[in-house]
Structure 1
């Protein structure tokens, strides 16, 4: 046992110091970003080099139904070979025993990466950057709501009760008093994150009732996507300890802002570490403008990945802290593409389109893919926007069906993300959309039952 635990990441070793490891959770993210896998005794994990799961986990919809995406051989549920990435080994500090989680990568029997496994999609995009002599760097921001326990899907989601005994208040952005209302939950988030070796750049109250934002330090895209994947589980577990739910729905509460996953991008020279968005005198380079141009041109085709559910499109509401178009500007939060204030060496481009409901591997991969296409094709952006971008017209799809139609036609985007991923993703998402269209909503019963 000591042989392999001695090589664990530092935080995992610290977590286990003086303790006996009981169990290892072998996990992988499916298309929605749900952790799938197996829990095995630590002694068995020490002896195994891989384990198997059927490829059908990537054909499953968010409801547990299936998209007909298995291909020519039919739905035979072929086994994948899942191999651990031990650099991802981290604590599961909410469990009753001493447990580690380890993210696995999926391969076929020939040793080739499964092309529709989300982590493999992101690795493919990062590898393409490196083949072009560039290292992409990202910094995600995670927004989410702490809400009252909701056991009845027919009941509207409500804010959680705060420490004061009053429901969480809306429109209190950046209020420290509002953050203090959730103190016990936040304390556990910090404790769990520390046990897992994650560095939080900050927690703030956002504009919604019970809405918080966690910022992560910038770094390698795969590593950061791993952290967002882990954080979603961590935050849910911290909330459950305090009799509330954490939700990453894009729009959980009517008339409140939605939850986004803003992604900050910069590109480094792999040899010198120089930010390729910065010229010799600190000016903005062609790569900087081409990256923005790529986002403007290709993000409409990628929205089906950044906004993967029917609920996602409820977030894109004018004047509700979510963009409705792809204008770009410096230090302007009304635009879909923002260049934050920073010294030249920290220059970055913020994509504000992704919802927090997206799979972090796929959302980051799609955003990077759009920027890479812009740099490869030397796409020039529109002129910088001046003023309030909410006064402009929307230029993104407004419903999932429209977004999927655009995604299906975007063969240049498929070439970056992988054609087989694009095929499977579209089939699964259309199956979800068809399921949704069969559901009769309360609005329809209220306004149509007796009036039409």
Structure 2
């Protein structure tokens, strides 16, 4: 009996492989080539359930779970379009001229990307997961969904014969369990039985406090085919950072998406929380998601940021000029919540400028010391609460606009760049307005995405404004 093939136009999840599969990639930890290999891969591992997941605007995994037999049997998976129009707290904002709901709340289809298939190592029953793209009922990519926003930016590079390369660094805090949001967060107790204090940057002893948890992070990551480059202790109490190997932007965004889930699950196993809030604890450093970026020529594999003689190229400087010009206007894609702007304040180990410099960590855009072949620019502005797909899209898109429009950067900064005026929007509403007002960003990210994203962010701000803070009760209750 001939094998029935998946029909992308019909947006089918897959078909059962009726014919024998010739030498499938059964040993692969992450990803298979086609539906025949997927069926064999699932059988070889005795997988019972499949989680079909996709990031929403916040980067939260959404999707459906099903038996593995249905995953490979023509099952069509759908989600409502309203899923991409609700806030982080679940509200649905009022419509505006640019923020509209789909009148029928029509279905969007989940299209599994089989290159992301992997096991879910923390589940007790044999379970697998796969990241899905979002398409409409005609099988066309839905432009405003996060993975497609990033794919479109990568496509703009590819059209010019280039391929962007990124390496994210993700900071996060471990915190003691806290089921009452009115109380501040505190670092958990480590193996010594004491809560770790701040000032532990690059401390091996600080990492050793959580040896068993870190072992689980490594174990879970290995089972999913996720590769950690390095892990360090950062400045904050129980603040860690994971660095990932450089690679394709969509693949690295997928990894950050999965790492966040993995780290949270590992922490929960040990009775603590892992948080990617930008500023979880008052008086402590915030958590960033630094992004190292370079661009290579597809045909030659050469880094276009370097000339043949090893000197920086014009594209290198124009990329920086584009980031300086456009990232303040796209900052809401890298700092998406009210809390994000608590991190971007003076004297809190985060840049509040648009300066660049060589090996200067006070600048927003740092050029690390490297050989010409590895010349790159580190964007230090994104916070770890950002959706990785949107943060990477914003950073790469702004750099590309600089090359397209031949924007020269300012001179590099040799001194501290954080001692002057703040060059960035100071709050969420201002950042949203800047995103909407810049026509060049609509060309890169689409007007539809910007309208939906801005509407959701304004809705989140209005929800935040309904909450009375401890500061208001402390200083206004009896004094005004």
Aligned twin of 2:175: 147
Question: 1:258 aligns to what SS in structure 2?
Answer: coil
Deviations 1:384-411 (A, max 9, x none): 0011112122100011111111111011
Aligned twin of 1:412: 440
Aligned twin of 1:230: 258
Aligned twin of 1:392: 420
Matches within 5 A, 1:24-43: 24-43=50-69
Match of 1:54 among 50, 55, 80: 80
Aligned twin of 2:300: 272
Match of 1:175 among 203, 211, 214: 203
Aligned twin of 1:362: 390
Match of 1:23 among 39, 49, 52: 49
Normalised by the length of structure 1, the TM-score is 0.97
Deviations 1:35-76 (A, max 9, x none): 000010001101136411111110010001113469667553
- Give the whole-Å Cα distance in 2 for the aligned partners of 1:53 and 1:297: 37
Matches within 5 A, 1:340-379: 340-379=368-407
Deviations 1:333-368 (A, max 9, x none): 111000011111011000000000000000000001
Say whether the 8 Å CA contact 1:8–1:87 is kept in structure 2. Answer: no
Question: 1:406 aligns to what SS in structure 2?
Answer: helix
Match of 1:11 among 11, 29, 33: 29
Gaps of 5+ in 2: 1-15, 33-40
- Give the whole-Å Cα distance in 1 for the aligned partners of 2:286 and 2:462: 24
Worse overlay, 267-276 or 107-116: 107-116
Aligned twin of 1:198: 226
Residues 1:305 and 2:333 aligned together? yes
| Alignment RMSD (CA, Å) | 1.8
Residues 1:102 and 2:130 aligned together? yes
- Give the whole-Å Cα distance in 2 for the aligned partners of 1:395 and 1:150: 35
* Pair 59,72 (structure 1): closer, same or farther in 2 beyond 3 Å: closer
Give 1:381 deviation, angstroms.
Answer: 0.2
Match of 1:118 among 142, 146, 157: 146
Say whether the 8 Å CA contact 2:352–2:422 is kept in structure 1. Answer: yes
Paired residues, number? 452
Worse overlay, 317-326 or 232-241: 317-326
Residues 1:66 and 2:84 aligned together? no
Deviations 1:177-218 (A, max 9, x none): 000001111000000000000111000000000000000000
- Give the whole-Å Cα distance in 2 for the aligned partners of 1:182 and 1:290: 43
- Give the whole-Å Cα distance in 2 for the aligned partners of 1:327 and 1:309: 23
Question: 1:390 aligns to what SS in structure 2?
Answer: coil
- Give the whole-Å Cα distance in 1 for the aligned partners of 2:351 and 2:75: 45
Give 1:159 deviation, angstroms.
Answer: 0.4
- Give the whole-Å Cα distance in 1 for the aligned partners of 2:266 and 2:312: 42
* Pair 176,16 (structure 1): closer, same or farther in 2 beyond 3 Å: farther
Deviations 1:208-240 (A, max 9, x none): 000000000000000000000000000000000
Gaps of 5+ in 1: none
Question: 2:418 aligns to what SS in structure 1?
Answer: helix
* Pair 72,152 (structure 1): closer, same or farther in 2 beyond 3 Å: closer
- Give the whole-Å Cα distance in 2 for the aligned partners of 1:311 and 1:411: 27
Residues 1:251 and 2:282 aligned together? no
Aligned twin of 1:221: 249
Give 1:110 deviation, angstroms.
Answer: 2.2
- Give the whole-Å Cα distance in 1 for the aligned partners of 2:165 and 2:142: 24
Say whether the 8 Å CA contact 1:27–1:101 is kept in structure 2. Answer: yes
Question: 1:262 aligns to what SS in structure 2?
Answer: strand
Say whether the 8 Å CA contact 2:81–2:106 is kept in structure 1. Answer: yes
Say whether the 8 Å CA contact 2:81–2:102 is kept in structure 1. Answer: no
Residues 1:290 and 2:324 aligned together? no
Residues 1:319 and 2:337 aligned together? no
- Give the whole-Å Cα distance in 1 for the aligned partners of 2:100 and 2:167: 39
- Give the whole-Å Cα distance in 1 for the aligned partners of 2:399 and 2:142: 24
Aligned twin of 1:260: 288
Worse overlay, 73-82 or 313-322: 73-82
- Give the whole-Å Cα distance in 1 for the aligned partners of 2:193 and 2:101: 58
